[in-house]
Every structure is written in C-alpha cells, then in structure tokens.
Homo-oligomer: A and B are copies of this chain.
Amino acid sequence: MLLRLDHIGIAVQNVSDALGFFERALGMKLDHVALEEGGRTEVAFLPVGGSEVELVQTHDPESGLGKFLAKRGEGIHHLCFEVDDIHAALARLRENGAQLIDETPRVNTSGMQYAFIHPKSAHGVLIELYQKPNS
C-alpha cells in the first residue's frame, strides 16, 4: 500500500544555482544540503507539507543522473512513494507485468529498503518505492 509521496527528485546542473529559484524566488524552505554517494552527489532538501523536493546534482557524468541531464536537461527525475511493505508492492507490480529496475529491494546504510520501477512500465515516470526500517 502506498502511504504517501515522500519526495520529488529534480535533476539540476548546480544545486546553488537551483536554490536561487526554488528557495529565493519560489519561497521554499531549505532544510539542508548533503553530499551523498561518497561525495559524487549533492542534494538540497526542501520540505513542503508532508513531502519534499530534492534538488540533485551529480559530479559523475556517467551516472544515471548524469546521463539523464545530458539527454533531457534539467527537470523532474523521479517520484518516490513510501510503502508499508516493499516486497508486497514489488510482487504486485511483477504480477501485473510491470518492468522493475530492482527485482529485490536495495538497502542503504540506514537500513531503508528501496527499489525503482522502470519508466517504460510507468508511463514515462521513474518511480522509487521505499520502506522505512522496522515498519
């Protein structure tokens, strides 16, 4: 079951430049900026209501995000929904013929499980599902 929209990932060339729009012009509140994936990715977190906008910059042109930027330019990269049972969610997708990028969930250092659905199955939308640890 989908609980909520956790975040919208927006691919940007430069996080500082993008904050000039999203923070100063649009008036979103910046929570923090973090380096992730060993410094290869820079992310600005802007909570709004119960969700979050994440501005994502990569320092690796060969990454998925780097290729997305080269091909499509800046814009929305993915949506992430929180689910209560990621294994059940992936099973349901599989039963209904959806193409998964991750057949089984990946686990990050915080114990969070996550998996991506291929945009070919999802009407052009890259969708991430995640389940909190111990939920």
Find residues 81-109 in chain A having any chain B CB closer than 8 Å to their own CB: 81, 89, 92-93, 95-98
Query: A24 in the interface, Cβ–Cβ < 8 Å?
Result: yes
Whether a CB of chain B sits under 8 angstroms from the CB of A38 is no
Inter-subunit contact B74/A4 (CB<8 Å): no
Are A21 and B122 neighbours in the complex by a CB distance under 8 Å? yes
Q: Is the pair A5, B124 in contact by a Cβ cutoff of 8 Å?
A: no
Q: What number of copies of this chain does the assembly contain? A: 2
The answer, among B48, B73, B95, B123, for a CB contact under 8 Å with A74, is: B123
A76 to chain B: closest residue by CB: B76
Contact A25 B75 (CB under 8 A): no
A73 to B92, CA, bound (A): 26
Taking Cβ atoms with an 8 Å cutoff, the residues of A that contact B are 1-5, 8, 10-12, 18, 20-22, 24-28, 48-51, 55, 72-76, 79, 81, 89, 92-93, 95-98, 117, 119, 121-125, 127
**26 A-B pairs in the complex with CB atoms less than 8 angstroms apart:** A2-B26, A2-B48, A4-B48, A4-B50, A4-B51, A11-B124, A18-B123, A22-B122, A22-B123, A25-B93, A25-B97, A25-B121, A26-B93, A26-B117, A26-B122, A26-B127, A48-B81, A51-B51, A55-B123, A72-B124, A74-B124, A74-B125, A75-B119, A76-B79, A76-B124, A76-B125
